[in-house]
Structure 1
């Protein structure tokens, strides 16, 4: 990286926003580990893991588009504070329930839904605030810094959770207490931001019309339909593997919560390494090659997780799977932004985020299949489907290129 990588941090307001966002990313990724471990401890089934993720996904499916509209119609600082409050409530509630030993599974489901609502509103407000604070000339830099923060915390969050899980006196409850404190500090930083008032004409247009226009644009302007469909299908059928990592660790290898944390951590390390490697390699045909290879690698990695004979083998697979997943997600988002008009970037990001919500919904039926047919068999089937999605995406794009070439060569 060169010196200009961090130029946006010279802006004091953006620096506060970035640090606060860095803190909530740390808390969220640590809680992902704790939530999976707690659901497994309380219910002991893959369906339970899927149910918690289902609550997150269903809530986000509704809250994400509403959060995007709210970010354009209300003061952004207020949106950030309200969202942070929701995240803090969901975290403190579980921390108290674990500490006082009255925790129940239904509490975890509701807390997951509250966290999803907070995250769905916070993300679009934070991205809109980033654009406002850094300006158009530094917008790309601000977005890159946000992605770096997220990838760093995909490592740091599981590591923090792993440390707490390995110390009995801290455990799952300690993760939620620490996350609550981290979120509270982030909220104090948000208080020092400027109001981020909406444009004077923000409430004059129809939010429903803008939303529908974005959907129409995303699914009619080539190659956006292919990119969005590939992302959605790959996430729905492949990404639930992260929900089942507690079962992979405990049921397949007897490694328990600590093994779960290490699987998550090594996957995050692979993701961070891939993100750093592909930085600056997102132009033209190279970007498409990386996406095509990574989505195939994503599918093969999920299948290989189901076939891994030992925990050590699973760790190696998880490193490569984490790299492929991060490369696919990063390059898919880059291609979508590069292939769309600036006026539609926010709505295209919303469509991408909805793919994550749909994966949460799919986790429950896939979890039921894992309980009925076996976790290994389900992971292999998931990986095969994602691999076929990747292969279909490559075939469709090549066919479109060939068709376009024929049309260009045809006489008038």
Structure 2
């Protein structure tokens, strides 16, 4: 029984190409999270603990996602995703190496970090949608939910290990060596990609998809079952998913924590995220809309509570629960959107999902940074949680009204592009 359960949880790892992909990504993402901690700590050190300065760097890193991610999704639909990912990882390694050299030589300035953040965001605009769409090519449709959940699991495993290790290394050696390790970690992802067997990839027989970026947007707009979770993700992401900004501010300005304690706070959030990702590995099909909405509601309530945590220990516990709810919501929305999409549009659909989930960060980071500057670090979490809660409640009302509508008459036909669910996908 235990062996069967483990086989279910780790089913996608039976695919050699996915094992190579996951191993390379685990190392690379751990390095990335180490880099995030080092970069945020350096920005706060150079700016005198300025929330606005940290918000600006975050905005610069995510602004290219707003501008170029949809085009990146079009590239993913048209060209070899493995090649795109290889080039993107090599470019990221070169950028990280450059910033590491500047820091190690004592020449790093805020404007250097601004340029690095902008360049890395441009690379990510291509890498993220290609990576998300590539998972389907690695394992096929049947194992896609499991592979997607395992991808979130290794991502959050790295999120636990990376910040915790970065905190220790920053305390002992400073940010420079951490940045250098991040540059090296990208090579693990490249090695995994190049060792794959291309003959075993599940590529669509229709190369390049259909149409361009606007066609992808029209496709999502014509599908209410895709549009509704996309809008909910947009609101929750804009207001509530700004932990790269709120956590360092909470650690330094509320709890007066050192780098090690900051790493622990971040690792706690990531540990909850990891548990949520593992919980999602048992999913076998497309989740119902209600699952997406209820998980968003739970996230909003928990983030609000975390913002009011009275002490460091309670903050660690509440952030762990918040991390669980955040990833469970994001994964449920991801699976509902991705598993409902035509493979010919999947790169552009996931690019839109990425744009909504991460591209809203520049606006959210600036707004939360200004809010925290005026009202304190706690306000970023409390207001974000309240907005997410309100959005989930509105979505819940809309979903109930949709479910209460009279059934379609035999003579009626679905609108062009609308979903006609199979029995296994119907919500009970």
The bucket for the TM-score relative to the shorter chain is 0.7 to 0.9
Shift of 1:239: 0.8
**Alignment correspondent of 2:189:** 186
Q: How does 1:177-326 map to 2 (within 5 A)?
A: 177-193=180-196, 202=207, 209-281=211-283, 287-326=288-327
- The answer (yes or no) to whether the contact 1:25–1:150 under 8 Å persists in 2 is yes
Q: Which moved more, 1:4-13 or 1:142-151?
A: 4-13
Shift of 1:99: 0.9
- The answer (yes or no) to whether the contact 1:26–1:157 under 8 Å persists in 2 is yes
Q: Which moved more, 1:338-347 or 1:91-100?
A: 338-347
**Alignment correspondent of 1:365:** 367
- The answer (yes or no) to whether the contact 1:30–1:161 under 8 Å persists in 2 is yes
Classify the secondary structure of the residue corresponding to 2:160: helix
Distance 1:130 1:384, change over 3 A: closer
Classify the secondary structure of the residue corresponding to 2:310: coil
Aligned equivalents of 1:220 and 1:115: distance in 2?
33
Aligned pair partner of 2:20 in 13, 16, 20:
16
**Alignment correspondent of 1:148:** 153
- The answer (yes or no) to whether the contact 2:146–2:282 under 8 Å persists in 1 is no
Would you say how many aligned residue pairs link Structure 1 and Structure 2?
A: 405
Shift of 1:321: 0.8
User: Hey, which of these two has a bigger chunk of helix by percent?
Assistant: 1
Shift of 1:326: 0.9
Aligned equivalents of 2:403 and 2:204: distance in 1?
41
Shift of 1:288: 4.1
**Alignment correspondent of 2:85:** 80
Aligned pair partner of 1:35 in 39, 51, 74:
39
CA RMSD, aligned part only? 3.0
Shift of 1:293: 3.0
Aligned equivalents of 2:79 and 2:411: distance in 1?
52
Aligned pair partner of 2:179 in 176, 179, 197:
176
Distance 1:409 1:258, change over 3 A: farther
- The answer (yes or no) to whether the contact 1:77–1:193 under 8 Å persists in 2 is no
Distance 1:139 1:60, change over 3 A: same
Aligned equivalents of 2:386 and 2:133: distance in 1?
38
1:170-199 CA-partner distances (Å, limit 9, x unpaired):
232221111112112333443444679998
Classify the secondary structure of the residue corresponding to 1:180: helix
Gaps of 5+ in 1: none
Shift of 1:231: 0.5
Q: How does 1:110-189 map to 2 (within 5 A)?
A: 110-165=115-170, 167-168=171-172, 170-189=173-192
Aligned equivalents of 1:249 and 1:228: distance in 2?
32
